[in-house]
Amino acid sequence: MSKKKAFKAESKRLLDLMINSIYTHKEIFLRELISNASDAIDKYYYLSLSDENITADRSALKIQLSVDKEHRTLTISDNGIGMNKDELEENLGTIAKSGSLAFKEKMEAEEKNDEDVDIIGQFGVGFYSAFMVASDVVVESRKAGEEEAYRWESNAVDGYTIDKCEKAEHGTTITLVLKEDSEDEKYSQYLETYEIENLIKKYSDYIRYPITMFVSHEEPKEEGSEEMQLVVEEKTLNSMVPLWKRNKSEITKEEYNEFYKNKFNDYMDPQKVIHTHVEGSVNFDTLLFIPSKAPYNYYSNEYEKGLQLYSRGVFIMDKASELIPEYFRFVRGLVDSQDLSLNISREMLQHDRQLKAIASKIEKKIKSELVNMLKNDREEYEKFWKNFGLQIKFGIYNDYGMHKEMLQDLLMFTSSHEMKLTTLDEYVSRMKEGQDVIYYVAGDNLDKLDKLPSAELVKDKGYEILYLTDNVDEFALQVMMNYQEKNFKNIAQGDLNLESEEEKKEIEEKAEENKDMLSDLKETLKDKVSDVVISTRLKSHPVCLSAGEGMSFEMEKVLSQMPEGNPYGMKATRILEINPNHPIFEALQKLYGRDKDKVKDYADLLYDQALLIEGFDLDDPISFSNKICNLMVDASKE
């Protein structure tokens, strides 16, 4: 017998968790093992289509269950692709790569929160869930096309062994030696036929290969005879009709939910199920799900988009990315079409006309479902938006706004109107008479934006402002250019034209009167701002910085946060605006009359204040602090 090998550290942690699990749904181990068996048969069948050395008799493909009450064993056997020695080592000695990192992170995070986590359900830890119910697990496997078979065995506690064994057919047989019953847990229930039948109906009914088991029942020896005999026969426990092929009206919500969680390894029910049957130039069934939470790795490169692809109920491939546009990449699900060739390869997908037609129909369907949700169930839509809104906004921005038409009505931003999320259409419907632009301002938090000096007057005049808090927002609006022919206007940038003719005149006069002072201020700040002007956008605040047309401050910040830095070193033009109706203005005028040099200090201070308000760092905080102190000291002398 070979030497025992230790599990990799991560696997060990997971195993410990499984062994000591107080998880209440231990029964899911069967679903996990059957799902693996079904995947293995899928792979085998698919391989047989392309490899002429392998012939698969589709009718013989199945998953067999058997129990041995005396030895407390439950066996799950498939004639799928099987595993060779290396694969046993790689797949069962190391925790499935997909969930491992997340698992670790989540464990750590949750420990902090001290919450009872549904880790097991969360990451579909698959094979290892066997250790929730078994003290020993034996896996005998022979890879299709290979002669040798191997036996992997483990009691989880002190590692595993791999040895050669005999196995007549390709595939995998997993034998679980069930744990002893305890007060809380009756593991022997998994040896009872009716319990197994129930579990299969509950979790694995749609599996497309027969799941069989030899069951016995008593029946009269002959018709009418009173003498009974024990008959043993192989029974298929699942209906095998794929869920998506069944009539929608006959499927319960629970069935959809179970199917989704099982197939896509989510621990939460989906937020939305979209099940459609399309006939016409292209025929297909599709079952799509919008998750109720973004997967942990959603906004990383690790997340792979795509739908599972089936042809006439036969699995062809996972994650066919061509079926789903980038901006709907959060959608999970599958497509089954009789119009696709079984031999389609990933390379061919890109050029397949039928597939393009399917993808286009799916895209429209998702959009219309989202629009319906928005119209009919606002609360649900806002939940969706919290999860995936960012994706939609990126969808607008990417490809130079090519998908604007598809996506613009799905957009939401928080608005100064009740500080709630609003759609652009709702914004436009509330626009005041004579308002011809959609106002917005960008920054990193709503509270700050709502308090921005430049927002005060706009709100005061009765206009609504969209508050953009994600980096991509302003870029998205820029590529959109307009919505329902209304241009977007940043309130912290350029001319707002909010003032009446009279007010305009007044300001022009003030500017003229204070020409010298303004130009001295500008001269003092010449390395920092391109202009110092009398403001038309301030109400009660003393100063603000505005940007000239083109690049805004937020865009400048976003660009400089990019990993490669601001690619063209582009900067927003800074303009210092001073409120002529603020006492500070009068103070400046007075001071200017008395001591022109002193105004220089004031200029720096005003500029620094404006920087702080805009959320920029000060160039020289120490000098700022010193100047403030000097002022305070001076004030005490008077």
Annotated binding site for ATP: 32, 36, 78, 83, 91, 97-99, 122-127, 172, 346
Amino acid at 149: A
Residue 308 is a binding residue for ligand ATP (CB under 6 A)? no
Q: Select from 29-37, 162-170, 291-299, 302-310 the region that touches ligand ATP (CB under 6 A).
A: 29-37
Choices 122-130, 155-163, 243-251, 372-380 (CB under 6 A): range interacting with ligand ATP? 122-130
Q: Which stretch binds ligand ATP (CB under 6 A): 13-21, 79-87, 253-261, 357-365?
A: 79-87
Binding mask 90-119 for ligand ATP (x = CB under 6 A): -x----x-xx--------------------
Output 5 or 448, the one with its CB closest to ligand ATP: 5
Which of 261, 557 has the CB closer to ligand ATP?
A: 261
* DSSP class per residue in 74-88: EEEEE-SS---HHHH
CA dist 37 and 81 (Å) reads 9
Nearest approach, Cβ of 124 to ligand ATP (angstroms)? Answer: 4
How many residues of this chain interact with ligand ATP, rule: CB under 6 A?
A: 18
Question: Which of 14, 81, 134, 144 contacts ligand ATP by CB under 6 A?
Answer: 81
Which C-beta is closer to ligand ATP: that of 98 or that of 435?
Answer: 98
Closest to ligand ATP by CB, 39 vs 369, is 39
Phi/psi for 151 (5° steps) reads -120, 120
> Minimum Å distance from CB 465 to ligand ATP?
46
- The verdict on 124 binding ligand ATP (CB under 6 A) reads yes
Among 11, 79, 122, 172, indicate the residue that binds ligand ATP (CB under 6 A): 172
* Cα gap 136→90, rounded to integer Å: 19
DSSP 293: S
Tell the smallest beta-carbon distance from residue 98 to ligand ATP (Å): 6
Length of the chain: 638
CB 124 within 8 A of CB 21: no
Residue 78 near ligand ATP by CB under 6 A: yes
CA distance 289 to 260: 7
Q: Smallest distance, Å, CB 96 to ligand ATP?
A: 3
Planar angle of CA 206, 210, 215, nearest 5 degrees? 115
Q: How far is the CB of 44 from ligand ATP (least distance, A)?
A: 9
Of 535, 528, 555, nearest to 441 by C-alpha is 555
Neighbours of 181 (CB within 10 A): 12
Q: Identify the residue among 23, 29, 46, 127 touching ligand ATP (CB under 6 A).
A: 127
What is the separation of C-alpha 278 from the centre of its chain, rounded to a whole number of angstroms?
27
- Please, which residue, 82 or 401, has the CB nearer to ligand ATP? 82
* Smallest gap from residue 37 Cβ to ligand ATP (A): 5
Q: Is 126 in the site for ligand ATP (CB under 6 A)?
A: yes
| 80 binds ligand ATP per the rule CB under 6 A | yes
Burial 477-508 (b: 16+ CB within 10 A, else e): beebeebeeeebbbbbbbebebbeeeeeeebe
Helix (H), strand (E), coil (C) string for 165-208:
ECCCCCEEEEEEEECCCCCCCCHHHHHCHHHHHHHHHHHCCCCC
What's the distance, Cα to Cα, between the start and end of the chain in Å?
96
CA distance 131 to 23: 12
Which one of 32-40, 280-288, 440-448, 612-620 is the stretch in contact with ligand ATP (CB under 6 A)?
32-40
Give the residue with the Cβ less far from ligand ATP, 87 or 185. Answer: 87
Q: State the Cα–Cα distance between residues 298 and 520, nearest whole angstrom.
A: 53
String marking each residue 487-516 x if it binds ligand ATP according to CB under 6 A:
------------------------------
Of 96 and 441, CB closest to ligand ATP: 96
Which residue type occupies 397? Answer: Y
Q: How far apart are CA 237 and CA 235, in angstroms?
A: 6
Q: Is the dihedral of CA 173, 179, 184, 188 positive or negative?
A: positive
Q: Which residues bind ligand ATP (CB under 6 A)?
A: 32, 36-37, 40, 78, 80-83, 91, 96, 98-99, 124, 126-127, 172, 265
